[in-house]
Every structure is written in structure tokens, then in C-alpha cells.
Amino acid sequence: MCSAGSSGWSPAPGDKQPWLQINLNRKYRIVAISTQGIFNSYDWVTKYTLLYGDRPDSWTPYVQRGGNSTLSGNWNYYQVKRHNFHYAFTAKHLRFLPLGWNTQWGGKIGVRLEIYGCPY
């Protein structure tokens, strides 16, 4: 679901509650997510929450073992961080909520991501 290239998503600088919504257009069984920072930059997300649902107005947070809904992100722009979910879930919509990001050297929120799954 990612296009080739070096770009990614970065919210507007003044956005106080940024999120990225992914509309899958049909129900998918989601099993994993990978994230990466924006190519050749100081922009990457260090932690985030992933919400999912069948309607764009009703969300469920993905919760890891132990009850934590915060997923660890990246520590640089180039390495891929993959989370294989301990339970698969079905969704038509996903919402990526950055909770922390690199702020050194002028860094800001920036992410490239890939969702793994199959049609449900």
C-alpha cells in the first residue's frame, strides 16, 4: 500500500492533533505494520497508536499483550520497524496517531508505512 519513492506523510506544522487515516475501501485482515522515517531527513515517529474500524467515525485501538496501545516506532529515518500483531484484526479504515517523534536537529513528525494483510 506504499508507493515507491522517498516521500511520506508529514502533518502541517501547526497541526496540534495530527493523524493519518488510511481508507482501505474494503475489509482486510490486518496482521502487521512497518514504519520508516522520511528519506534522508531527521523526520521520524518514535511511538504511535494505531486505531482501526469498519466506519470512519468509530475506532478501536490496537492493544498489545499486557494492555499497552502504544507501539514503538523508529530511531532513525532509514531502518524499518515492523510490528507483527499478536492477533489479527479486520478493518476498512486505519488511523495512525503519532505520540512521539525525533526533535533533534529540527526533526518533526514524518513517516512512511506499510500495512500487511489480505482481503477478508
What is the fold, at CATH topology level, of the domain defined by 20-119? Jelly Rolls (2.60.120)
Q: What is the pLDDT of residue 6?
A: 63
Could you state, in order of their start, the residue ranges of all structural domains in the chain?
A: 20-119
Q: What is the pLDDT of residue 5?
A: 55
Concatenate the DSSP letters of all residues of 4-56 into one string: SSS--B---TT-SS--EEEEEEEEEEEEEEEEE--TTSS--EEEEEEEEEEET
Q: Mean pLDDT throughout 33-53? A: 98
Per-residue pLDDT tens for 54-98?
998 999 999 999 899 999 999 999 999 999 999 999 999 999 999
Per-residue pLDDT tens for 23-37?
999 999 999 999 999
Q: What is the pLDDT of residue 21?
A: 98
